[in-house]
Structure 1
Amino acid sequence: MVTFIGDFECKADAKGRIVLPAAFKKAAGHGEQRFVVRKDLFETCLVLYPYAYWEEELLRLRQRLNPYKREHKQFLRDFFRASAEVQLDSGGRFLIPRRLMDQVSADREVVLVGVDRYIELWAKPIYSAMSDNAVSLAGQAELLLGGASADSE
Structure 2
Amino acid sequence: MRFTGNIDAKVDEKGRVFVPSSFRKILQREEEQGLILRRDIFQRCLVLYPQQVWDEQVDAITAKTNMFDRNGRNALRQFVAGAEAVSLDSGGRILIPKRYLEEACIKNDVRFIGIDNTIEIWNKQDAETILNQPETLANCLEEMMNTPQECK
Q: TM-score, normalised by structure 2?
A: 0.88
**Which aligned pairs between 1:1-153 and structure 2 lie closer than 5 A?**
2-30=1-29, 31-135=31-135, 137-146=137-146, 148-149=147-148, 152=150
* TM-superposed deviation, 1:127: 1.0
C-alpha deviation, 1:139, in angstroms: 4.3
Return the alpha-carbon distance in structure 2 between the equivalents of residues 135 and 98 of structure 1.
35
What TM-score do you get using the length of structure 1 for normalisation? 0.88
Instruction: Look up the SS of the partner of 2:135 in the other structure.
Output: coil
Structure 2 stretches lacking a partner, 5+ long: none
Aligned partners of 1:12, 1:69: CA distance in 2, in Å?
41
Report SS of the residue matched to 1:120: strand
**What is the RMSD computed on CA atoms of the aligned residues?**
1.9
Contact map agreement 1:82 1:100 (CA 8 A) in 2: no
CA-CA distance at 1:85 after TM superposition: 0.8
62-71 vs 28-37, which deviates more? 28-37
Distance 2:45 2:13 in 1: 21
Cα gap change, 1:71 to 1:143, in 2 (>3 Å) = closer
Post-superposition offset of 1:132: 2.9
Identity across matched positions, percent? 33
Checking the alignment, whether the CA contact within 8 Å between 2:62 and 2:76 is kept in structure 1 is: no
1:134 is displaced (CA, Å) by: 4.5
Q: CA deviation at 1:36?
A: 0.7
Q: Which amino acid aligns with 1:83?
A: A
